[in-house]
Amino acid sequence: MTTRPRKWWGWGYEDEALDDGLIQRGRSLVKSGLGIEPPEPIRPPSLEDLRFRSPRIDLPASVSRFCTDALFDRASHAVGKAYRDVVRALRAELTNPPDYVAYPREESEIREIMAYCEAEQVALIPYGGGSSVVGGVEPATASRYRGTITLDLKFFDRILEVDTLSRAARVQAGTLGPALESGLRPYNLTLRHFPQSFEFSSLGGWIATRAGGHFATGFTHIDDFVESVRMVTPRGVLETRRVPYSGAGPSPERLVLGSEGVLGVITEAWVRLQQIPTHRVSATVQFNRVADGISAVRTLGQSGLFPSNCRLISPVEAFGMGAGDGKAAVLLLAFESHDHLLEPWMERATEICAGFNGTWRAADAGERESAVDSWRRSFLQAPYLRDYLVTLGLIVETFETAITWDRFDELHRTVLSAVDAAVRRVSGKGLVTWRLSYVYPDGVAPYYTVIAAGRRGEELEQWAAIKAAASDAILANGGTITHHHAVGRDHRRWYADERGGLYCSLLSAAKASVDPRWIMNPGVLVTGPTG
Ligand SMILES: Cc1cc2nc3c(=O)[nH]c(=O)nc-3n(C[C@H](O)[C@H](O)[C@H](O)COP(=O)(O)OP(=O)(O)OC[C@H]3O[C@@H](n4cnc5c(N)ncnc54)[C@H](O)[C@@H]3O)c2cc1C
């Protein structure tokens, strides 16, 4: 397990300097995209600039032995990694840190801390990688809680068993993406779940938020990979049976998937694995008319070919990522398999694209970097670039949804125009770019990025107005408030509308049966006795 300290205020490791190339890319993006001269970046505050209240509770020895109130730990667990989190950290405005951070090594310690929290009315927040972008790991604010403890699962980081015959592994929930994949590699197996936050997010966090990996079709959601799960709740341990499929009633795994820490702490799961792909083909397809690109993606999504990558990137976004000329929409197309050659699949896929006036080229083995490679590099660097742009005072954030094909055009048009209007109203200068990031036979998940000029000190209000315009437009046009970012605190208002009162009360009743004192991550996903 790595002990290299991570940045407390943003993405990456503390000792990691930003690449010069990335800085230059960020600055030229501001100049060419927004038409403004990029200011000098502000320096992140030092830990000593933070003024934290003393812990509001005293811990008994039975739990204090694996808890800390050190400033670094409280600061790095005070918020997640959304744009608004980075802004608040850069302003040294982490006003509601947890009182303690707990680092249990055994389930018995989790049970002990839960019992303490129940007895003392203290909120308990499960924490994996802390990459939540929806306020999912922020401490409770309701006054009925005497304090908050964040429970970090970083010591639950082992692969406990590998069943090579069934191709499955039992993995502890705090295992981060890189450790999980490197532990499976000797078996020639992979979970093949690669969210953009892969580096700093955990299996338990993926399950709790129903994360989406970077493959555009087929098995890509963590939902598909969970065979069984084990969760410690204040009322006991819930462990589901390990079977490939069960028709026995509503699926218990599905209740744990997306539970966002409000039901209990996921400690481990059996996950379905795949053999590491050995065959790969990729191509980039250009569409001079965006509408043609969208039709091609729909046809590919309904073709049964299931490409691993099938991302249509808007002209402006493709240009920003170094994958296009800024005029054409770019489709990144790829197939992967451990079993068979993929040329016939690619041939048929490009034939479909040609039917919609797409012009394509395969990645050439000799070329230094294909558009697919430069897209992948940009994808992985995006969180670092985002933080740099925030230090320049820019508003930089993403939002996403999913919608069936019959309503896509209307939703996409309305969202773009509502967000564009909000950006112009609150900021004056800004860009809204998009890509189609997941493709289903019956619909699609568009992903939007906003980059706008911020006014120092007012950025959070500016972003809140843009986000509200986006979320209102999404809900009004039949989309979901989140395709894969989860509900957290930030989406709860819209989630309540989307799911309706009856379902929300069903969920609250489920919570009350395992967490009657409502100590597990209060304020996230569902409202409780005190909101
Ligand atoms: C730069 C960036 C890129 C991202 N890209 C993607 C992406 O491609 N796809 C995607 O789906 N999401 C993405 N996200 C969002 C985020 O990474 C996911 O929601 C991820 O699944 C969270 O995992 P985590 O371990 O960091 O969880 P945390 O942030 O620690 O927690 C998230 C939620 O899960 C709960 N939780 C965590 N661990 C447990 C546990 N063991 N038991 C019970 N509850 C738990 C927490 O209480 C909280 O409510 C991205 C975020 C960032 C900052």
Give the closest residue (by CA) to ligand 1 atom 44. 261
Confidence of residue 325 (pLDDT cuts 50, 70, 90): confident
- Ligand 1 center from residue 260 Cα (angstroms): 9
Query: For position 26, what pLDDT does the model report?
Result: 87
Nearest to 300 by CA among 174, 216, 368, 198: 216
How is residue 222 annotated by DSSP? G
Tell how far the Cα of 205 is from the centroid of ligand 1, in angstroms: 5
Q: Is 369 inside any structural domain?
A: no
Structure tokens that stand for 480 in this block: 């979901």
Gap from CA of 132 to ligand 1 centroid (Å): 4
CA max distance for the chain? 70
Residue nearest to atom 27 of ligand 1 (CA): 205
Q: How far is the CA of 506 from the centre of ligand 1 (A)?
A: 24
Region of residue 521 (left: phi > 0; alpha: psi -120 to 50; beta: else)? left
Q: Determine the atom of ligand 1 nearest the C-alpha atom of 222.
A: 11
What pLDDT sits at residue 21? Answer: 85
Instruction: Identify the pLDDT of residue 19.
Output: 84
Give the domain range for residue 67: 20-152
Please name the amino acid found at residue 523: G
Q: Ligand 1 center to residue 366 CA distance, Å?
A: 38
| Least confident stretch, 38-52, 57-71, 190-204, 506-520 | 38-52
pLDDT of residue 1: 44
pLDDT at 3: 74
Q: What is the C-alpha to C-alpha distance for residues 497 and 85, in angstroms, rounded to an integer? A: 25
Nearest Cα residue to 363 out of 309, 289, 282: 282
State in Å: Cα 161 to ligand 1 middle: 24
**Domain-embedded: residue 90:** yes
Cα distance between the two ends of the chain? 38
What percentage of the chain reaches a pLDDT higher than 70? 97
Does some domain include residue 402? no
Closest by Cα among 248, 283, 212 to 482: 212
Q: Cβ < 6 Å from ligand 1: which residues?
A: 80-81, 125-133, 136-137, 153, 173, 195-197, 201-202, 204-206, 208-209, 211-212, 260-261, 265-266, 383, 484-486, 521, 524
Please write the tens of the pLDDT for every residue from 431-442: 999 999 999 999
pLDDT (tens digit per residue) in 8-22:
999 999 888 888 888
231 Cα: distance to centroid of ligand 1 (angstroms): 17
How does pLDDT run across 207-255, given as a tens digit for each residue? 999 999 999 999 999 999 999 999 999 999 999 999 999 999 999 999 9
Angle between helices 501-514 and 492-499 (to 10 degrees): 110
Conformation bin of residue 121: beta by default, left when phi > 0, alpha when psi is -120 to 50: left
| Residue of 196, 156, 163, 162 whose CA lies nearest to 179 | 156
Look at ligand 1, atom 2, and give the residue with the nearest C-alpha.
197
- With bands split at pLDDT 50, 70 and 90, how would you rate the model's confidence at 117? very high
Q: Kindly give the distance from the C-alpha atom of residue 121 to the centroid of ligand 1, in angstroms, as a whole number.
A: 25
Q: Mapping DSSP to helix (H, G, I), strand (E, B) and coil, where does residue 98 land?
A: coil
Q: Residues 336-382: pLDDT tens digits?
A: 999 999 999 999 999 999 999 999 876 665 665 666 677 777 888 88
Ligand 1 atom nearest the C-alpha of 202 is 25
CA dihedral 16, 18, 21, 22 (to 10 degrees): 120
Helix axes 371-391, 83-90, angle to 10 degrees: 40
Domain membership flag for residue 145? yes
Atom 36 of ligand 1, nearest CA residue: 205
Give the position, in ligand 1's atom list, of the atom nearest the Cα of 200.
Answer: 26
Give me the half-sphere count of Cα atoms (radius 13 Å) on the Cβ side of residue 72: 4
Q: What is the pLDDT of residues 127-142, one digit of tens each?
A: 999 999 999 999 988 8
Q: What is the pLDDT of residues 72-89, one digit of tens each?
A: 999 999 999 999 999 999
> Is 453 a domain residue?
no
Query: Residue 524 CA: which ligand 1 atom is closest?
Result: 49
List b or e across 317-348, with b for residues whose CB sees 16 or more CB atoms inside 10 angstroms. Answer: bbbbbebbeeebbbbbbbbbbeeeebeebbee
Q: How many domains is the chain partitioned into structurally?
A: 1
In this prediction, residue 527 carries a pLDDT of 82
Distance separating alpha carbons of residues 269 and 267, to the nearest angstrom = 7
Q: How far is the CA of 499 from the centre of ligand 1 (A)?
A: 21
Residue 345 three-state SS:
helix
Distance in angstroms (rounded) separating the CA atoms of residues 372 and 361: 11
Give a yes or no: residue 444 inside a domain: no
Supply 193's token pair.
Answer: 């779940």
Q: Which atom of ligand 1 is nearest to the CA of 176?
A: 25
Mean pLDDT over the full length of the chain? 94
Q: Give the model's pLDDT for residue 160.
A: 98
Question: pLDDT tens-digit profile of 89-114?
Answer: 999 999 999 999 999 999 999 999 99
Q: Which atom of ligand 1 is nearest to the CA of 266?
A: 42
User: What is the CATH number for 50?
Assistant: 3.30.43.10
Within a domain: 64:
yes
Task: Report the relative pairing of strands 309-313 and 159-163 from DSSP bridges.
Answer: unpaired
- Residue whose CB lies within 8 A of the most ligand 1 atoms, among 86, 131, 210, for a mutation test: 131
- Specify whether the backbone of 218 is left (phi greater than 0), alpha (psi in -120 to 50) or beta: left
Q: 133 lies in a domain?
A: yes
Is the pLDDT at 123 greater than 80? The verdict is yes
Q: What percent of the chain has pLDDT over 90?
A: 86
Closest CA to 331 of 216, 210, 164, 207: 216
pLDDT of residue 362: 67
Phi-psi region of 357 (alpha: psi -120 to 50; beta: other; left: phi over 0): left
467 Cα–ligand 1 center, Å: 20
Atom of ligand 1 nearest to the CA of 194: 8
The closest of 273, 258, 268 to 210, measured between CA atoms, is 258
Ligand 1 pocket: which of 7, 132, 384 to mutate (most atoms within 8 A of CB):
132
Compute, in angstroms, the gap from residue 37 CA to the centroid of ligand 1. 35
381-423: pLDDT as tens digits: 889 999 999 999 999 999 999 999 999 999 999 999 999 999 9
Q: Which atom of ligand 1 is nearest to the CA of 208?
A: 34
| 451, 34 contact by CB (below 8 A) | yes
Q: pLDDT-derived band of residue 29, with 50, 70 and 90 as boundaries?
A: confident
The 10s digit of each residue's pLDDT in 283-306 is: 999 999 999 999 999 999 999 999
In the reported structure, the alpha carbon of residue 207 is separated from the centroid of ligand 1 by a whole-number distance in angstroms of: 8
- 134 alpha carbon, distance to own chain's centre: 9
Atom of ligand 1 nearest to the CA of 126: 47
For residue 254, count CB atoms less than 10 angstroms from its CB and return exposed for 0-12, middle for 13-18, buried for 19 or more: middle
Single-letter amino acid code for the residue at 56: R
Rg (CA), the chain: 23
| Average pLDDT of the residues in 33-53 | 91
